[in-house]
A and B are shown apart, each in its own frame.
Chain A
Amino acid sequence: MDNIRRDFVVGEEVVHALRGVSFTINEGEFVTIMGTSGSGKSTLLNILGCLDTPTSGEYKLDGTPVRTMSKPQRAILRNRKIGFVFQNYNLLAKTTAVENVELPLMYNGSVSARERRERAVTALQRVGLGDRLNHKSNQMSGGQMQRVAIARALVNDPAVILADEATGNLDTRTSFEILVLFQELHAEGRTIIFVTHNPEIAEYSTRTINLRDGKVRDDVVNHKILNAAEKLATLPVNDD
């Protein structure tokens, strides 16, 4: 990612959301992107997720330049290379866990119905929901729904998992459960970018990028990574 700028035209004013952001995230990193609201966090996430294109600068995902891609091309890129985890889960209503996880593969014509089902089940087992395959999204707790969302992000075996405030809607204990899951995925060699305004989470990642006013304020490698599983053990067990 090199010298990314993104301008928005609001009425007659031009808003500079990103004023030249450059960094490289290597494979296997667990990066936290932090910043207060208005710092350009969301815009950066959109660009990283190929939902938006920068006004100028170059962004390469897995070696592929994204800026000049058309909308359908970016859609396919998202489908194959990116896994999204959202703050409010964004599961399909009245739909079972397996069907939710299958969703990205539904838009990939080269995956057969059988393979799709198998991969979805494997992904759900990976996040510890092997026994809740056919639960509908409205029959699950927040933590379970977020696990389904993570399974959905995993199912296409993406180059990078983008999490947008993935623990923002969860209580402390459940947050740490999810964080444990992310650390495990990281340990398996996956690349994770976690966007948050919660400084606590940064302590569990390998690197933190701080944004302020559309620029990188600092970019620090975390040498003292905390173990989320250990922290989880110290937390009181939920009553339910």
Chain B
Amino acid sequence: MNGTNLFKIALKAINNNKMRSFLTMLGIIIGVASVITMLAIGQGSKQSIKKNISEMGSNMIMINPGADRGPGGARQSADEMQTLTLKDYQDIVDQAKYLSAVSPNVSSGGQLIFGNNNYQSSVTGVSEGYLTIRQLTVESGTMFTEADIKSAAKVCVLGKTIVDNLFPSGADPIGQVIRFNAIPMKVVGVLKSKGYNSMGMDQDDIVLAPYSTVMKRVLAQNYLQGIYASALTEEMTDIAIKDVTNILRTNHKLKEGEEDNFSIRSQEEISSMMTSTMDMLTILLACIAGISLIVGGIGIMNIMYVSVTERTKEIGLRMSVGARGIDILSQFLIEAILISVTGGVIGVLIGIGLSMLMKTVLHWPVSIQAWTVLLSFLVCTITGVFFGWYPAKKAANLDPIEAIRYE
């Protein structure tokens, strides 16, 4: 008995029952198609989030005052919140080796007023490096200069949302003087719009001013709320964090074994946090789709089982003309595998088609990856073997005498 003949016999049997074979396949088709589509959506969202985060600046390092207590550790005193100073900023600028840009961060909330329009927002005090770190560009006008920082000039650069709210008539804001609370500030530039980020935050709701201005004229404080920096490359983020940690520990005169009184986070950490959330969502989607694949498998088992009973006489005949148990077993197993693999192929095609459709019609971020296709294909083959085995075994164990006389 050779494999080719068994294959032919199985193919013939499927062909003789086209409708039934197709309906059996349908379970697998739906299962595989949904697994592929779900995973494509999951992977797509994950990639789009990653992209959004890197747009925010994937090399970004955030230095915050106070020790990192992790979630739930709310033990920060006011004193602890004042550990970052301008000297720290200056030393990082002067000494840190792996950074492309550094900017202090101080911000104050309040009301922005121009004419009879007002808007509730906040002013962020930064240095010029902030543009590099956050990957912002000035669309019209200019960024404030080093000289503006030195003189704590009352100038600002506005985001698109602010412009829209304060200048609803569409007038050019450059050169106009707006008021932040009671402080007049001259608009020198407008930032290019970045839209919403993946977490739904409006990245254009932003007012940038020299940090010196915010510290002296708005907040009247001599400590920083944070320092933002950008590593030279994403890979250098870790080493840059170590470098900055050393500089700050020296500055803060922390002894060996003493806890940091500041915390450093990289965008990468946040990004991995986000992607792990997305991964969980993807797994959830895949599980739901996987269940439908299992249901499809049970469908195969059900049909094959009925088919064994229905074809008892045929099995008896095959045995009487010399088919061994193993031949019958192989035939039914091959049938089950053929059905599930064919269903798998169709399912893959439909899954890919559906994903593409979502991409073009709904503009959802989808991404089909080779491993998801491979995985679902593998799973449906295993399904075929697993669920085909029992009915096949039953067929092989039939008594030929009873089988051939079965009515």
Q: Which residues does A use to contact B, with CB under 8 Å?
A: 46, 49, 51-52, 71-72, 75-76, 78-80, 84, 86, 90, 92-95, 99, 103-104, 106-109, 152, 156
Contact = CB atoms under 8 A, between A and B. Distances in A.
25 contacts: A51-B319, A75-B322, A75-B323, A75-B327, A76-B322, A76-B324, A78-B321, A80-B322, A86-B317, A86-B404, A90-B404, A94-B16, A95-B16, A99-B12, A103-B318, A104-B321, A104-B322, A106-B9, A107-B1, A107-B321, A107-B327, A109-B2, A109-B5, A152-B321, A156-B321
A71 B321 contact: no
B320 A49 contact: yes
Interface string B304-324: 000000000110111111111
B65 interface: no
Contacts of B8: 106
Interface of B: 1-2, 5, 8-9, 12, 16, 313-314, 316-327, 400-401, 404
Report whether over half of chain B's contact residues are helix, strand or loop; otherwise say mixed.
Answer: helix
Given A106-B5, A108-B1, A109-B5, A75 B314 contact: no
A197 to B, nearest CB: 16
B401 A107 contact: no
A107 B313 contact: no
Contacts of B2: 109
Given A90-B404, A106-B9, A51 B1 contact: no
Nearest to B17: A94
Given A72-B326, A109-B2, A79 B321 contact: yes
A84 B1 contact: no
A72 to B, nearest CB: 4
Given A84-B321, A103-B321, 10 more contacts: A72-B324, A72-B325, A75-B324, A79-B321, A79-B323, A80-B322, A84-B320, A93-B314, A94-B16, A104-B322
Contact of B320 (A78, A80, A99, A109): A78
A49 B9 CA distance: 24
Given A90-B404, A106-B9, A108-B1, A51 B16 contact: no
A92 B318 CA distance: 9
A94 B16 CA distance: 7
Select the residue from A46, A90, A95, A107 with max chain B CB neighbours within 10 A. A107
A106 B2 CA distance: 8
Contacts, number: 67
Contact of A71 (B320, B325, B401): B325
A181 B317 CA distance: 22
B314 A92 contact: yes
A135 to B, nearest CB: 16
Contacts of A52: 401
Nearest to B8: A106
A79 B326 contact: no
Nearest to A110: B2
B405 to A, nearest CB: 8
Lowest 10 CB-CB distances: which A-B pairs, in order? A79-B322, A75-B324, A104-B321, A109-B2, A72-B324, A90-B317, A107-B322, A94-B16, A78-B322, A106-B5
Given A90-B313, A92-B314, A51 B320 contact: yes
A80 B321 CA distance: 9
A109 B401 contact: no
Given A75-B319, A106-B5, A95 B326 contact: no
A71 B329 CA distance: 14
A93 B16 contact: yes
A90 B314 CA distance: 8
A84 B323 CA distance: 13
A61 to B, nearest CB: 14
B1 A109 contact: yes
A62 B326 CA distance: 25
A106 B328 CA distance: 12
Contacts of A93: 16, 314
Nearest to A99: B12
Contacts of B318: 103, 107
Contacts of B324: 71-72, 75-76, 107
A79 B322 CA distance: 4
A95 B404 CA distance: 18
Contacts of B400: 51
A51 B401 contact: yes
Given A52-B401, A90-B404, A95 B321 contact: no
A150 to B, nearest CB: 13
Contacts of B320: 49, 51, 78, 84
Given A92-B314, A107-B5, A108-B1, A46 B401 contact: yes
B325 A107 contact: no
Contacts of A95: 12, 16
Nearest to A71: B325
A52 B313 CA distance: 17
Contacts of B317: 86, 90, 92, 103
A92 B313 CA distance: 9
A84 B317 CA distance: 9
Contacts of A80: 322
A75 B327 CA distance: 10
A220 B348 CA distance: 70
A90 B315 CA distance: 10
Contacts of A99: 12
A71 B324 CA distance: 7
Contacts of A92: 314, 317
A109 B16 CA distance: 24
A218 to B, nearest CB: 27
Nearest to A45: B401
A23 B156 CA distance: 116
Nearest to A73: B324
Contacts of A72: 324-326
A182 to B, nearest CB: 19
